[in-house]
Amino acid sequence: MKMPTLPAELVEEILTALVDSYNDDPAYQWNQLRNLSSFQRQCIEKHFENFWLPKLIISAFSGIWFSWEYTLDSTDALLSEGIATYRHILDPSNSMNHLLQEKWEYPSGPAVFLRFGEGFLKRGLRGGYIVDDLEPTGLEVSNEGLTMRFNWRRTLDALFREEMLLRNHREAMLQSAEQDFAQLHDMQNDPEAKNKYLLKRLCQDIQMASRVAVLRHRHAQADPSGQSVPIFSRFCRRFHLQEPNDPRDSISISCGDRCTPPSIFEIVQQEESMVLCLPGWHNMSNQMLYDLYAEEFGWACCIVQGRRDDEDFQKERRRVWDNPIRFEVSDMLICRHYDPLG
């Protein structure tokens, strides 16, 4: 006997309600829910075109000291055809504007970083947006380096595919860390102690190990022969903990004189918050989140200074964040971009 079916209109209403329930998780919407039906695909892509694309910022770095940011030109007629146009608005105070076209003409070009959902994802909290070093798919640069065009749908495909892979790897390592905590401590009912333990593991190990895993997966997908491997610079070895293999590294060049751009490890160490990767963070009070941001700041200082396990130094540095003259709870809403001076 043929089972009764729901009217198509009702099915789409149910699917729309499901999609809307994930409005704060665009990666999942795009990767998973967009495939529910052709109607949902059309609606989601239109929503991303109108709402999320303007919240994608593209940064081009030439070395660590000079960068240019590109934002969406929403008036371009090619947008609906899948081609996004991003433009850099010249800052008259930037004395390096004349180098922009020259840098794009280099064989390697500037290093490109994508920032998605800054000020919107994870309640707009500090370090809650998506950061990646993917080059936009089909990238074309024109107008003396001021304009870039690329296929925005395929770019989001790649961006969210890596974001989901990053999450899966991070969550697997977090589960292992939770098991370690349960075995090492008799404080299973002490959420503060557990959060601090997990945050330390996230800062010291999980954050960068997940990035390394994603980079290795990217290269394996692009070159199954295994001949292509990620580049790990000596300048950020304290972050990625991998053997340096960057041919551009030179022992005689100091960090201040380096001409290579920052790596994804240096970018996320400053911009990405591990507080917002803790289980149940969205149920925490503002004061609890603030305390954890202070804890994270202390561990970040330890890693940057090469004092990874120095708990006394961590406590000393977290007191800097706790200083009410310097920081307030509202600082959790301030997004911070990479600064070579730290």
d(CA 64, CA 74): 29
> How many Å separate Cα 256 from the centre of its chain?
25
Q: Is residue 82 part of a domain?
A: no
Report long-range pairs for 218-227 (Cβ below 8 Å, ≥24 apart).
218/162
Phi, psi of 85, deg, nearest 5: -110, 125
Q: Is residue 42 part of a domain?
A: no
Report the C-alpha dihedral over residues 171, 175, 178, 180, rounded to 10 degrees: -120
At residue 252 the predicted structure's pLDDT band, cuts being 50, 70 and 90, is very low
Give 186 or 255, the one with higher predicted confidence.
186
Q: Is residue 294 part of a domain?
A: yes
Q: pLDDT tens across 136-164, in order? A: 999 999 988 899 999 999 999 999 999 99
pLDDT of residue 325: 56
Give 102 or 151, the one with higher predicted confidence.
151
How far CA 156 is from CA of 114, 159, 170, 266, in Å, comes to 10, 5, 21, 23
Q: Is residue 100 part of a domain?
A: no
pLDDT at residue 334 tops 90: no
pLDDT at residue 257 tops 60: no
Count of beta carbons in the 10 Å neighbourhood of residue 304 = 16
Amino acid at 205: D
Percentage of the chain with pLDDT > 70? Answer: 91
* Rounded average pLDDT over 4-20: 86
pLDDT of residue 295: 95
**Largest pairwise CA distance in the chain:** 79
Report long-range pairs for 220-226 (Cβ below 8 Å, ≥24 apart).
none
The whole-chain average pLDDT of the chain stands at 88
Q: Residue 61: is it exposed, middle or buried by C-beta count within 10 angstroms (0-12/13-18/19+)?
A: buried
At residue 276 the predicted structure's pLDDT band, cuts being 50, 70 and 90, is very high
Q: Is residue 312 part of a domain?
A: yes
d(CA 153, CA 81): 10
Q: Is residue 35 part of a domain?
A: no
At residue 230 the predicted structure's pLDDT band, cuts being 50, 70 and 90, is confident
Half-sphere exposure of 330 (CA within 13 A, CB side): 3
DSSP string, 266-315: HHHHHH--SGGGSTTGGGS-HHHHHHHHHHHHHHHHHHHTT-TT-HHHHH
At residue 327 the predicted structure's pLDDT band, cuts being 50, 70 and 90, is low
* Rounded average pLDDT over 19-23: 93
For the chain, the domain total comes to 1
The predicted model scores a pTM of 0.91
* Rounded average pLDDT over 43-56: 95
Q: Is residue 76 part of a domain?
A: no
* Size of the chain, expressed as the number of residues it contains: 342
d(CA 86, CA 82): 13
Q: Is residue 20 part of a domain?
A: no
Percentage of the chain with pLDDT > 90? Answer: 58
DSSP code, position 97: G
Assign residue 276 a region: left if phi > 0, alpha if psi is -120 to 50, beta otherwise? alpha
Q: pLDDT tens across 192-202, in order? A: 999 999 999 99
Give the residue numbers spanning the domain of 298.
Answer: 161-333
Most confident of 26-30, 239-243, 289-293, 333-337: 26-30
